[in-house]
Structure 1
Amino acid sequence: MRLFLITRNDNTDWDEYNAVLVRAEDVFDAARLVLDGENPYPGLYENNIVITPVRVSGPRGQIIADFNAG
């Protein structure tokens, strides 16, 4: 299993997700995790997400900071 960062490429509205870090077999499996079924992640759709593999090892640093407050 690998880690994938799924982010939006459009504007986030209230009560919507902007990003999710998932563990999946590949990018297709990662997409299925957030898109299949009843869409457990409001705001994430097939036409507005970017899926980026995340290396487990690497230099020290921040992986994700997602701030959206009203």
Structure 2
Amino acid sequence: MANRIQQLGILRIDVINCIMNGEIIEDYPTDYPHPSCLIFGHDTLNNRGVMLWLDMMAIMCLL
């Protein structure tokens, strides 16, 4: 996941900002293999963005 974020030019601080200050707009607790949710948030420059939070463990490793 971290490699894909780097390929897209997304900064780690922007992912953190979106997760910490964004709003969960969809929750998928039964997703396989891990629960996920869709987060609407902004990057550090206040640009809008949508991020898919796939896996709590993957996000914890990213942060």
Report the structure, 1 or 2, having the larger helix content: 2
Greater relative contact order: 1 or 2 (C-alpha under 8 angstroms, separation 6 or more)?
Answer: 1
Which category of TM-score, normalised to the shorter sequence, fits these structures?
A: under 0.3
**TM-score, normalised via structure 1 length:** 0.24
**TM-score, normalised via structure 2 length:** 0.25
